Amino acid sequence: MNKYDYEYELSDEQLLYYSSLSTAAKLQWLDDALRFTLLAREARIAADRGGAPARKPSPLRRPT
């Protein structure tokens, strides 16, 4: 198993909410989580090197 540098737990209520979303909304949520994770890792690498992230995060989108 891979070692990750973060951990996140979901409550039962959050899981129920997620399961009630449409397929498109679930895919959007996963895409947003992926983008956040990639930007957070990039920021950490840049900080370890004494710099700033190379990209600015994309603006937050409101759920549709």
Tens digits of residue pLDDT in 31-55: 998 888 888 877 766 666 666 655 6
For the chain, domain boundaries: 22-56
**Average model confidence (pLDDT) for the chain?**
76
What are φ and ψ of residue 46, in 5° steps?
-65, -40
Write down the pTM of the prediction.
Answer: 0.53
Q: Which of 52, 24, 49, 27 is nearest to 39 (CA)?
A: 52
